[in-house]
Structure 1
Amino acid sequence: MAEPDPRTLEALGLAEAPREHPLSYPGARPEESVLLDGDRLLPLTRGVYEDRVPVLAVGSNACPAQLRHKMARSGVSGTIPMVKTRVFGLGVGVSAHVSPMGYVSASPFHAPGAVGELFLTWLDAAQLAVVDASEGVAVAEGAYGRAWLSASEVRIVLDSGELLPGAHVYVNRRGVLHNGSGTPRLHPGERPLLASLLAGSERLRELFGETPEDFCARARGDAALCARGTRLFASEGLTIASGLERYA
């Protein structure tokens, strides 16, 4: 079978997975609800899939290229419904850890009154196991726990106006980074985030270099260095609770 045309993949937002290009995190996202089918993005015919598990994507799991990469490496089907939703009561913050993928990822936080658009991925059992493994859910020292948030905590509304009873979301066990005034900072994209973090911490620059490019190059694949960076976030008082830890 011929390899997909890279130009076509780029046009679909499928060319760059943040796992391979850390500074692209969280990656390109579709403009509307789609069915990810390997190298294709197809129209969706419905918003609810009763035989699958609903998982909100707050970071790179909303990027088709990232999902495609994860499933392909595990030999699992890459057919995934991705439904654009309006979410009430959840913010997208910055994880209080450095990922060995080479980036500082996103993590949700409790945000009463907040309204935003997030993609809901509907995963089958094998796909859920792949994403769980990628987030370190089953590992005691893993960064994330998978939390079930019911409609009483977070409202998830489809384009049809239907309110879902709830969904899963990956919550960082170490909390999130704050913005200097005691509230979670929002994730602005990897390059501006890393530039800001490095500018604000001499010790972080000592570990990861002066630029976002340096940071990604040093962090990528170096679990011990990433663990030192994670501890540094805590020791410099940069972390706060997300408010969702009790669910994870």
Structure 2
Amino acid sequence: MTFGDRDYPAAPYPGARPDRSFVHDRATGHPLRPDHTALAGWRTEQGTDLDEWLAARGAAPLAERVPVLCYGSNACPAKLTWLRETLDLPGPAVLLRATCTGIGAVWAAGLRVVDDQRPATLAALPGVRETHAVWLATPEQVRVLDECEGRGLRYRLARVATGEVRLDDGAVVDRPLAYVAAPGGTARLTRHPLLVDGRPVRCAAVGQAEAAGLTGVVAEGDGLAVAVLDGAPVPADHPGRLFVPGTLQPGASHWSSLAPHAAGPPRRAELAGRPGVCGWVVDLADPAAALSTVEEYVGAEYRRVRVVLAGGTVAWTLGRAGPAEGLPELAAPWGTT
């Protein structure tokens, strides 16, 4: 059942958010469910492949989006509408529920300029499990988030290697993007964690009404292992591996065209939810270049999609809707030898 923004208000920060995956557009949320037989891997409640739903609205498919971990207000439907009305956020926003282990939201030392509420920041939290969301965002949507989050001033956009982020479809998001505290800054603007009695305060444990009045000291760091991103994120880099059946497998007739792009030895793999669909997963030195090579080989009828492998690893592959029940076709014309 669809829902409206008033079901999930933005105040007080960080606002309310659905306990489910959803796509949000025009002040309306549409629940999503994982489905490994869908080419996008997700369907609306009506059974429509999410990529088809997005295409009907002139929006980019999931393959042209990047995973951004949302642990504060950006998973709140009313906040999404505010972004559209205030910062011209374009197109539908895809938010997938995520279980985060070893990382989570804590209260920042600085306050928000607009309303003196205390914002959240991301920190390492060993042994802690929290539920947040991964926004599969277009590059244009990331630019809006950059402005909203004060990228370079309050937060940095970085790939986070600490902890685990697992979606409802079993996918483990490899080093997701997230807005993490920027170094330096004034006491009011800093987004480093606030330490009270020497420890960060989890947002899940203390509400905004109490958090705004907390006193403590600014932490020297957040405990995260990150790679700060310069410039705009590239969808092809998420993930940096490719699942190949058929003639592009090691030892098969066209392996030589993919082999120069491999970063390390390939590994045997099987698709989650598709017993018997086996192949190899290849880590890529330059994902964009490798994917271009493979796309040229398989032809225009196939398109790039992300798939979940047994165990949760996410990889690219090339697929098309099959003749029956919309099942992704992954073998022909890849061949078998």
Compute the TM-score of the two structures, normalised by the length of structure 2.
0.52
Task: Output the amino acid matched with 2:29.
Answer: L
1:161-180 equivalences in 2 (<5 Å): 161-173=170-182, 174=190, 175-180=192-197
Matched position secondary structure for 2:23: strand
1:79-94 equivalences in 2 (<5 Å): 79-94=92-107
Question: In percent, how many aligned pairs have the same letter?
Answer: 26
8 A contact 2:25–2:93 mirrored in 1: yes
Q: Which residue does 1:146 correspond to in 2?
A: 157
Cα distance between partner residues in 2 of 1:92 and 1:122: 19
Q: Which residue does 1:3 correspond to in 2?
A: none
Cα distance between partner residues in 2 of 1:168 and 1:82: 14
Task: Output the amino acid matched with 1:40.
Answer: T
Deviation at 1:113, TM superposition (A): 2.2
Mark the CA change 1:244 to 1:8 in structure 2 (over 3 Å): closer, same or farther. closer
Deviation at 1:239, TM superposition (A): 3.4
Deviation at 1:184, TM superposition (A): 1.1
Cα distance between partner residues in 1 of 2:141 and 2:220: 31
Task: Output the amino acid matched with 1:123.
Answer: A
Deviation at 1:245, TM superposition (A): 7.5
Q: Does 1:17 align with 2:4?
A: no
Cα distance between partner residues in 2 of 1:111 and 1:30: 23
Q: Which residue does 1:122 correspond to in 2?
A: 136
Higher helix share: 1
Deviation at 1:246, TM superposition (A): 5.4
Q: Of 212, 220, 242, which aligns to 2:222? A: 242
Matched position secondary structure for 2:103: strand
8 A contact 1:82–1:121 mirrored in 2: yes
Q: For each residue in 1:106-151, what CA deviation from the matched residue of structure 2 results, as whole angstroms up to 9, or x when unmatched?
A: 001112222111111111111100011111114xxx111111114x
8 A contact 1:92–1:109 mirrored in 2: yes
| Runs of 5+ consecutive residues of structure 1 not aligned to the other structure | 1-6, 19-23, 201-235
8 A contact 1:72–1:78 mirrored in 2: no
8 A contact 1:34–1:43 mirrored in 2: yes
Task: Output the amino acid matched with 1:89.
Answer: G
Mark the CA change 1:82 to 1:8 in structure 2 (over 3 Å): closer, same or farther. closer
Cα distance between partner residues in 2 of 1:159 and 1:166: 17
Q: Of 181, 193, 197, which aligns to 2:211? A: 193
| Runs of 5+ consecutive residues of structure 2 not aligned to the other structure | 34-40, 43-60, 183-189, 229-337
Mark the CA change 1:246 to 1:155 in structure 2 (over 3 Å): closer, same or farther. closer
8 A contact 1:53–1:123 mirrored in 2: yes
Q: Which residue does 1:71 correspond to in 2?
A: 84
Q: Of 40, 44, 58, which aligns to 2:32? A: 44
Q: Which residue does 2:169 correspond to in 1?
A: 160
Q: How many residues are aligned here?
A: 190
Cα distance between partner residues in 2 of 1:112 and 1:71: 36
**Which fold has the larger relative contact order, with Cα–Cα distance below 8 Å and residues 6 or more apart in sequence?**
1
Displaced runs of 4 or more, over 6 A = none
Q: Does 1:132 align with 2:150?
A: no
Mark the CA change 1:164 to 1:8 in structure 2 (over 3 Å): closer, same or farther. closer
Q: For each residue in 1:40-97, what CA deviation from the matched residue of structure 2 results, as whole angstroms up to 9, or x when unmatched?
A: 1112254592210111111111111112211222223241111001111102111121
Cα distance between partner residues in 1 of 2:63 and 2:179: 20
Q: Does 1:27 align with 2:43?
A: no
8 A contact 1:37–1:80 mirrored in 2: yes
CA RMSD for the aligned pairs? 2.3
Higher strand share: 2
8 A contact 1:90–1:109 mirrored in 2: yes
Task: Output the amino acid matched with 1:189.
Answer: G
Deviation at 1:238, TM superposition (A): 4.3
8 A contact 1:58–1:108 mirrored in 2: yes
Compute the TM-score of the two structures, normalised by the length of structure 1.
0.69
Q: Which residue does 1:203 correspond to in 2?
A: none
Q: Of 39, 54, 60, which aligns to 2:67? A: 54
Larger radius of gyration: 2
